[in-house]
Structure 1
């Protein structure tokens, strides 16, 4: 029997943290449908020295990606996977995230008037292709041919959507471009760097902290002008977010590596919580300490944004670890659990939802989309998406990369 705290076991708090973050992500992503939204909930402008709730959610998700990497790789090693096979899996996950990210960001730049089909039909086709390709099909040898055919159909559908795509200015449309890779693409690049940084060093705390600090300091050096001599290669090869986004991933990785090291020394509990709190406070101090120089900005990925959001993530995880794993108070999260275990499915459902209701001409009255009532509407929408995710999971529809 495994001990209650084993480095081979997933922490329930990670799944709960992911579920809460996904609930907030769907909520803030729905704010565009509302009027009279408080500024503290929205994304701040690039030039502003400010940060809203919407600017915190994505860093939190990247932090969770980092939290998950050591456990995922440990489980693969336990199953007998070699390092080469793990690297292949990392590459496949990265490719999937980049491909989806590129299609989604191109949808956001689509020239609907120049297309042969409605941009909402194109959007629905895109998401259906994602589901066909990355659905978790049953382990049934007799139907393996069918499942392979469905995946091939998904790829062919993406090819067809790419062929008919027109973006940019409707009068002089262009074809698909990488743009900024989209949210999923940024997660893909950050995951790739975080996973490859962890794989050779595994659960060595010093190396994990060193990797985290490398990305944090790379981001700082970029803003300080220290890396200006690299400008000739910046447009061809650069660390995503000037180090900010992999810094969030590595911050989560540090939290997991310290946990796993603490387990090996039978020191999980108050000491681990204290370490998380200290890391959170230090990150906040770094963030507020650098704020006078470049301000807080998600769009510019300033050092202050990196430090403050890292601090919030460390402290949020410390609280959830204490509540969920130590105190075993976790039933409250059952209703949003699908968002923590079927995250990609949950993220993609709104794309179909918005397209379908637009094509159907369905729209809520303005009084249901304004002010506090509107915020309640967006919270209910987020919960509805999660419940729908759970429902389709139970009938065998669940994406996994």
Structure 2
């Protein structure tokens, strides 16, 4: 592996990029409460050759997951962790994301008439269990038993919720299933592939690029019909998103590896910025070139969607790198900082919010939820969630996996 000047190198722009992306994620996830949302902001339908803002946010988040992987793993190696311990940590994080994702996607398929409790009570219990299990508890030896007990209580709560769960058709309910694993589950699978790839390739840029291109080409081959001979195993063993989602993660990994290989040379900062811009152009061109064949679709994870979203992600990261790390302009992001450092907490808070509102039958007037005013309402909601995340972090409540 090529040595890097410091394995603890850090880019503040990654946290800012993550915070802005989470702000947008909460914003677009709140659209279900609105009416008359402009079409260019919403998710496009599977059969459409189109892409809205909502279709860009998740790929950008996966790209940021990839950006973070080299720094996180290298920091663990600096602390003395070997590959076995690192892989164990990767497996634990993947398990946590998959478990949360499966519970959340099953909540979305719940058959409330068949349940013994309200679906919203079930939802609150689910999120409470997540906090009990994955909260960052203080390093206090005197209270180790207490914190272990709280984690066990969280797992028991999840087990109880799973036991009473009824989903699908209320007349013929079914039990919990993996379905499509939910957003967190998709992140988990993509993170697993990206992290294990980096463990193997490290900061060897050539191998990282080969792995990245493999996922992009796998997706292209799927749409071109070159993988039809594997249809019999597709339901059992397959790459998540037909290669699309790990392609986003590996795009971020490659960007960070490029930075890490030249970070000890101040003169290389401009070259790194130019590299990001050029990669964005190449990927955007790839998306434009493949669009006539299969169109742009997030739901179908078409090659054009991958190329264009990767291009946007590279350009966005280039902008934040230039603004935050080169120009040192970052104070504007202080208000949304918790979204970049306590991302999982930030993501889960709305589930509690929506459940409490539903149980209390709280509903804003239609005028506040319609058109431009509705968008302002969702933007304010996003900021409120982030501020609430910061507040509960300060009292010692913060999830980490």
- 1:77 paired with 2:77, answer yes
1:98 equivalent in structure 2: 98
2:358 equivalent in structure 1: 358
1:264 is displaced (CA, Å) by 4.7
Q: How does 1:8-19 map to 2 (within 5 A)?
A: 8-19=8-19
Deviations 1:277-308 (A, max 9, x none): 01000000000110000000000000000000
Deviations 1:185-213 (A, max 9, x none): 00000000000011011001111111110
2:241 equivalent in structure 1: 241
For normalisation by structure 2, the TM-score amounts to 0.98
1:262 is displaced (CA, Å) by 1.1
Name segments (4+ residues, structure 1) moved above 2 Å: 264-268
Deviations 1:315-369 (A, max 9, x none): 0000000000010000000000000000000000000000001100111000000
Q: How does 1:92-241 map to 2 (within 5 A)?
A: 92-241=92-241
- CA distance in structure 2 between the partners assigned to 1:347 and 1:162 by the alignment: 22
1:253 is displaced (CA, Å) by 0.3
Deviations 1:155-196 (A, max 9, x none): 000000000000000000000000000000000000000000
- CA distance in structure 2 between the partners assigned to 1:59 and 1:172 by the alignment: 36
1:59 equivalent in structure 2: 59
- Check the 8 A contact 1:18/1:64 in 2, yes or no: yes
1:265 is displaced (CA, Å) by 5.4
- CA distance in structure 2 between the partners assigned to 1:47 and 1:384 by the alignment: 35
- 1:77/1:7 CA distance change after superposition, 3 Å: closer
Give the SS at the match of 1:173.
Answer: strand
- CA distance in structure 1 between the partners assigned to 2:376 and 2:264 by the alignment: 45
2:68 equivalent in structure 1: 68
- CA distance in structure 2 between the partners assigned to 1:82 and 1:192 by the alignment: 17
- Check the 8 A contact 2:7/2:75 in 1, yes or no: no
Deviations 1:126-149 (A, max 9, x none): 000000000000000000000000
- CA distance in structure 2 between the partners assigned to 1:102 and 1:126 by the alignment: 11
- Check the 8 A contact 1:7/1:263 in 2, yes or no: no
> Which consecutive unaligned segments of at least 5 residues does structure 1 have?
none
1:286 equivalent in structure 2: 286
- CA distance in structure 2 between the partners assigned to 1:191 and 1:339 by the alignment: 19
For normalisation by structure 1, the TM-score amounts to 0.98
1:233 is displaced (CA, Å) by 0.5
- CA distance in structure 1 between the partners assigned to 2:124 and 2:234 by the alignment: 35
- Check the 8 A contact 1:102/1:178 in 2, yes or no: yes
- Check the 8 A contact 1:294/1:302 in 2, yes or no: yes
Give the SS at the match of 2:88.
Answer: helix
- CA distance in structure 1 between the partners assigned to 2:311 and 2:20 by the alignment: 17
2:37 equivalent in structure 1: 37
Deviations 1:41-100 (A, max 9, x none): 000000000000000000000000000000000100011111100000000000000000
CA RMSD of aligned residues (A): 0.8
- 1:385 paired with 2:347, answer no
Give the SS at the match of 1:168.
Answer: strand
- Check the 8 A contact 2:287/2:305 in 1, yes or no: yes
- Check the 8 A contact 2:112/2:170 in 1, yes or no: yes
- CA distance in structure 2 between the partners assigned to 1:305 and 1:24 by the alignment: 19
1:263 is displaced (CA, Å) by 1.8
- 1:314/1:263 CA distance change after superposition, 3 Å: same
2:254 equivalent in structure 1: 254
- Check the 8 A contact 2:26/2:382 in 1, yes or no: yes
1:268 is displaced (CA, Å) by 3.0
1:397 equivalent in structure 2: 397
